[in-house]
Every structure is written in structure tokens, then in C-alpha cells.
């Protein structure tokens, strides 16, 4: 009966050319009520606090309205030049607005900027009614779409984030949504870094983007702030430094100043306490495993692509890797056939899983070698039956995340 074999290896032995630290980075104690920090480049969650608790998202839920509009652009239902009607309901919206009136026919591009930069509640209602018929119907569409995208703790009753007990999102769901906006709609992402939008000069004081990080020169380029009395001050943020992108969500801060301070501290911590190393190149041999009835009798295990790992900057211990495979591996084996999985264990960070593949082909052995191997196998089976009871098989390894964002949805 096939069973999983698990081998522990020290990365220092495998990766002699690259020394990796394994001591935990300085922990970040966030003042937010809830938070999540995610390294998109390496698919690594750096920090979680109440990340799955459904909370009032305030204007951060406008990102879901923007997502629905981007999807309509993507499938051709609308274009950036399409003009939408402004209803009396939209005109009557309070809070932060574009100051639209019923005689206006704003374009989709103007509404995108009005939602992202001006945080326009009226713009959200205009989009909702254009795409869903009514805001209530559109909110139901938002909820259904969120579930389909793996956002398990999100429900919507309006398009703007206006306070309501039925309007809830978790920090993880907002991070999932942010990653989607960054990776699936790169042609529209630049709007999130836009610092001002003086729509028709109607509200000069409301033309500036409220994201406090955009003016700091730290690589921040999105995405959306939020604030209500119930929710406190929050931010869905993202920044890029040295080829790495992080995404973070914070909520429940006591003031705009506290939000700005916390967000900047998170960005600095994420980039200064961690670094990316590439200890394995594509095709580099990691280990060998036996092949039953194979010629040759062993085959090398290699990764299909470069293995990049996020590790703490400071430390001296070495990382440990665990390799799991199902025994016996039967000949023939094709070059590039998946045979095993390597799990890299990092103190203070989630394990990183890497599939390993056959370095080359392995043919079936000739008749006499197969006969000898079969006899040895029968003897082994007899020993298993009449000898000491073997240890229970290890649990099969979990599948490796293949796309950015999977660490958020696992």
C-alpha cells in the first residue's frame, strides 16, 4: 500500500550558496482593532489580528463597487466614455460626495475617480443604479460576487459603505479584494494613486485623495480609506519597494492622524524587517528518491521554477525543509513528473510549500532486476505483516498555492 515518506533536511546543506536567517523578525504590535499584512510578491501573510471578524468597512467597501465597475469594463458592458444618469436619490446622498445633480451625465472614468479620490457616495449610487437597476439589487449582486471571489465574511446592503448593520467586511476579505484589483485590472490601477480630482471644481476642499501615504514617497499607490463613528478610521493600502509589493488593511483607529502613523509604520516594518532570497534555481537538484523497478534506481528532485522565500533580515539560525513523497514511486517516470513536495519551515512565518519534479526520465528495469526487486518487495511485505507494527502513515501534504492571493483564501 502506498504511504507518505517524510524526510527532514537542513537548508544549509542544500543551499550552500545562500545563507538564510531563521530567527523571527521584530513583531509588530498594531494599534488597529483588526488588521492583516500580506506580501503579495511571495504570497506570505506577515501579520493577522482579528482578520476574519466581520466589521463595518465604511468607505473601504467602495472597493467592491469599483470592482463591479471594472468587471463591467472588462466584459464590454460599458466603456470609460459611457455616461450614466444621476437620480434624485444619488443627488440626495450626504457625507462625502462629488456634488452631482440630476442634470449631470458623468462618464464612467469620472465616476471611478469620484469614488476612489473623492470617496463620492453619490457616485457609488449612480454606478449601482446603472449596473443593477436599483442600489438594493446592486448590493445583492455585490454580496453574491464577493462569495464567488472567496470573500466569506462580506455582506452588502448599499454601494457606498453608508453605516448599516448589514454592511460588513473582514480585513482578509478586503485584502483579497485589493489583490484582485491590483492583479486583475492593472490597466485601471493607476486611479488608486491619483492624488486629486477636482470634478468641475464643485468641491475644492474635497478634491484630494485621503490616503495619507501617497505623499510620503514610500512606494504607496493605493487603495482606499474609510471612516465612520462605528468603524473608526481604516485604510486598505499597498506599496512597492525593491520589487516587492505588500497589501495591508487596518481598521478601528481613533483618528486620521493615528491611521496615518499606523499605516506608515506597517509599510516600514514590512519592508525593513523582511527580505526576499532565492535559495533554489529552477532545475537545481534538492534530493534523490528511490524508484521501484527503475533503471536507474534513483531520480533527482528539482523545482520547476526559481524558489523565492521571504525571510527575516536579522538572524543566524538556518531554515529546515521537509520533503514528502508517496512510496513506492513506480517506474517508468517521465522527466518533469511531479513526485514530491518540499515544505520550508520559517520561524514566525507560515510554511512555504514547493512542488518537486523528476529531474530526468527513469525507464523500467530489465527482467532480472525486476524479478529481484519483486522478491525483495514480497519479503518487505512479509516483514510488515509478521514483524513489528509500522508507524502510522503521515498525513498527505497540503497543496501548494499557485497564484497570488491563495494564502489569503486558504
CATH of domain 3-8+286-299+319-409: 2.60.410
The rounded distance, in Å, linking the Cα atoms of 314 and 133 is: 55
Residues 344-369 as b/e (b if ≥16 CB within 10 A, e otherwise) read bebebbeebbbbbbbbeebebbeeee
Residues 57/169, Cβ–Cβ less than 8 Å:
yes
Instruction: Tell whether the model's pLDDT for residue 405 goes beyond 70.
Output: no
The rounded distance, in Å, linking the Cα atoms of 245 and 178 is: 12
pLDDT in tens, 248-260: 999 999 999 999 9
Least confident of 12-16, 213-217, 383-387, 399-403: 12-16
Sequence spans of domains, the chain:
3-8+286-299+319-409, 34-272
Residues 360/289, Cβ–Cβ less than 8 Å:
no
pLDDT in tens, 320-343: 889 999 989 999 999 999 999 999
**Could you confirm whether 119 is annotated as catalytic?**
yes
- Predicted pLDDT of residue 7: 62
Cα→Cα distances 362→182, 183, 331, 335, 338, Å: 43, 39, 6, 8, 13
Q: Which of 61, 62, 96, 224 is catalytic?
A: 62
pLDDT in tens, 47-71: 999 999 999 999 999 999 999 999 9
**Could you confirm whether 224 is annotated as catalytic?**
no
On whether the 34-272 domain is CATH 3.90.1150.10, my answer is no
Residues 166/182, Cβ–Cβ less than 8 Å:
no
Q: Which of 96, 119, 160, 170 is catalytic?
A: 119
**Could you confirm whether 62 is annotated as catalytic?**
yes
Amino acid at each position: 500500500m502506498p504511504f507518505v515518506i517524510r524526510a527532514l533536511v537542513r537548508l544549509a546543506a542544500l543551499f550552500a550558496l545562500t545563507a538564510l536567517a531563521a530567527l523571527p523578525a521584530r513583531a509588530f504590535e498594531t494599534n488597529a482593532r483588526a488588521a492583516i499584512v500580506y506580501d503579495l510578491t511571495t504570497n506570505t501573510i506577515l501579520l493577522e489580528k482579528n482578520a476574519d471578524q466581520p466589521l463595518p468597512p465604511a468607505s473601504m467597501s467602495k472597493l467592491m463597487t469599483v470592482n463591479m465597475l471594472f468587471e463591467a469594463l472588462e466584459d464590454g458592458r460599458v466603456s470609460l466614455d459611457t455616461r450614466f444618469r444621476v437620480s434624485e436619490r444619488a443627488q440626495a446622498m450626504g457625507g462625502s460626495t462629488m456634488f452631482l445633480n440630476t442634470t449631470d451625465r458623468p462618464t464612467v472614468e469620472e465616476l471611478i475617480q469620484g469614488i476612489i479620490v473623492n470617496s463620492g457616495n453619490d457616485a457609488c449610487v449612480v454606478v449601482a443604479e446603472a449596473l443593477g437597476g436599483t442600489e438594493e439589487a446592486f448590493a445583492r449582486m455585490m454580496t453574491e460576487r464577493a462569495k464567488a471571489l472567496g470573500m466569506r465574511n462580506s455582506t452588502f446592503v448599499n454601494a457606498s459603505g453608508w453605516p448599516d448593520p448589514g454592511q460588513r467586511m473582514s480585513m482578509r476579505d478586503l485584502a483579497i479584494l485589493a489583490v484582485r484589483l491590483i492583479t486583475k485590472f492593472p490597466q485601471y490601477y493607476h486611479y488608486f494613486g491619483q492624488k486629486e480630482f477636482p470634478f468641475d471644481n464643485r468641491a475644492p476642499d474635497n478634491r484630494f485623495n485621503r490616503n495619507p501615504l501617497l505623499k510620503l514617497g514610500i512606494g504607496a499607490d493605493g487603495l482606499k480609506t474609510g471612516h465612520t463613528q462605528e468603524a473608526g478610521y481604516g485604510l486598505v493600502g499597498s506599496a512597492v519597494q525593491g520589487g516587492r509589493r505588500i497589501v495591508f488593511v487596518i481598521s478601528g483607529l481613533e483618528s486620521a492622524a493615528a491611521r496615518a502613523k499606523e499605516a506608515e509604520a506597517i509599510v516600514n516594518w514590512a519592508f525593513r524587517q523582511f527580505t526576499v532570497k532565492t535559495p533554489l534555481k529552477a532545475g537545481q537538484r534538492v534530493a534523490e528518491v528511490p524508484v521501484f523497478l527503475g533503471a536507474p534506481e534513483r531520480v533527482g528532485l528539482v523545482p520547476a521554477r526559481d524558489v523565492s522565500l521571504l525571510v527575516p533580515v536579522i538572524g543566524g539560525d538556518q531554515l529546515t525543509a521537509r520533503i514528502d513523497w508517496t512510496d513506492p514511486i513506480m517506474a517508468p517516470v517521465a522527466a518533469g513528473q511531479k513526485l514530491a513536495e518540499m515544505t520550508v519551515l520559517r520561524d514566525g512565518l507560515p510554511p512555504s510549500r514547493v512542488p518537486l519534479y523528476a529531474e530526468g526520465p527513469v525507464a523500467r528495469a530489465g527482467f532480472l532486476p525486476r524479478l529481484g526487486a519483486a522478491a525483495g518487495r514480497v519479503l518487505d511485505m512479509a516483514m510488515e505483516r509478521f514483524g513489528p507494527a509500522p508507524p502510522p502513515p503521515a498525513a498527505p501534504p497540503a497543496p501548494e498555492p499557485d497564484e497570488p492571493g491563495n494564502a489569503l483564501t486558504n
